[in-house]
Each structure stands twice: as structure tokens, then as C-alpha cells.
Amino acid sequence: MARFLVVFAALGLAVVTLAPAAQAKGKGFAIISGRGQTPTVVVTDPAEVAALFWGGGLGEPERMDPPDQRTKLGGRYELKFVLWDQGEPSRTYRQFLYPFAEQGTHGMWTFTPPGQLWGGTWRVPTGWWVVSGDTEAILKANGIPDGQTMPRPSASHLLLV
């Protein structure tokens, strides 16, 4: 009986761990949108979408501790993944991207908000993730600035109030 429980628990853990992986094997695209001068970016290259998915932490089963100083995260972008598999309807997953964050290994953080489900069944883990170097390079190549290359302010800062 104990052997059965161990095997059953291992199988259950494998299913929960592989749920995001199964979701990432289909087709899809990513949409990155933010305020200000940065235009909306649509990423369609499958390798880049996969790198954003995994490097931004969406497909990871665990989350990191939140950044130390959340007030210094800077501007927020929205990162949406629209994914589907053969014969399945598309599903949209959302994250918030903070490319100007002062904390973190690479300077960029993502936050996955609550209430999202993999395939309508498994809960997507909520929380913070430090963006990987590969993901950061893809974001920069698509015009998303980082903490070192802050966008220039618009002329609105010259308006008299």
C-alpha cells in the first residue's frame, strides 16, 4: 500500500509539473504593450515565444521572493501569451513586465497575476520572477527598453500647470 501511495504521489507531481510544459508545446504568439512611446509588439517566432514563456517564468511551477523595493519597479508593461494546441481553443495568459526594475539579476521582473488556469484545469502559479538573459535580449530586440536605456520623456513634461 505504501508503494502504491508513493507511485501515485509521484505521478500526481509529474502531471502538475508537466501541465505548463504541455501548454507551451502548441502554437501561439505574445503581445507586449505598455504606456508612453513604446509601440505594441507582437512576437510570433516560435523560438522567441517559447523563450519569453519560460524565461519570463510563466511556465515555471515555482515563484521567487518578491523584489525588495516594489516602489522602484518603474513602468509596467503587459505581456499576453495567446496559445493553442491542435484541435483546442486558444487561451490567453497574462503577466506584467517591469523592465526598469532596479532589483534582480538582470534588472527585469515579471509578475503573474492570480486567477489563471492551464487548459482550464490547473492553477497558474501567482507571483514574481526575474527575467532570464535570453528573454531580456528578445525584449530589447523588440524595442522594450531596460533600466539602462530609459525612454526619453515626452514633451508633456514641459507643460505649465
Please tell me the predicted confidence (pLDDT) of residue 120. Answer: 76
Q: pLDDT tens digits for 22-36? A: 444 579 999 999 876
Q: For the segment 35-85, what is each residue's pLDDT rounded down to a tens digit? A: 766 689 999 999 999 999 998 888 888 888 777 766 678 788 999 999 998
Quote the cell numbers at residue 66. Answer: 518578491
**More confident position, 131 or 15:** 131
Query: In this model, does residue 103 exceed pLDDT 60?
Result: no
- pLDDT (0 to 100) of residue 102: 66
Query: What is the chain written as a DSSP string?
Result: -HHHHHHHHHHHHHHHHHHHHHHHTSEEEEEEEESTTPPPEEE--HHHHHHHHHHTTTT-SS-BPPPS-GGG----EEEEEEEE-TTS--EEEEEEEETT-SSSSSS-EEEE-SS-EETTTEEPPPEEEEPPHHHHHHHHHTT---TTSPPPPPGGGG---
Residue 43 confidence (pLDDT): 94
Q: Over pLDDT 70: what percentage of the chain?
A: 67
CA separation for the pair 69, 124 (Å, rounded): 25
Whether the predicted model's global pTM rises above the 0.75 cut: no
Average pLDDT over all residues of the chain: 74
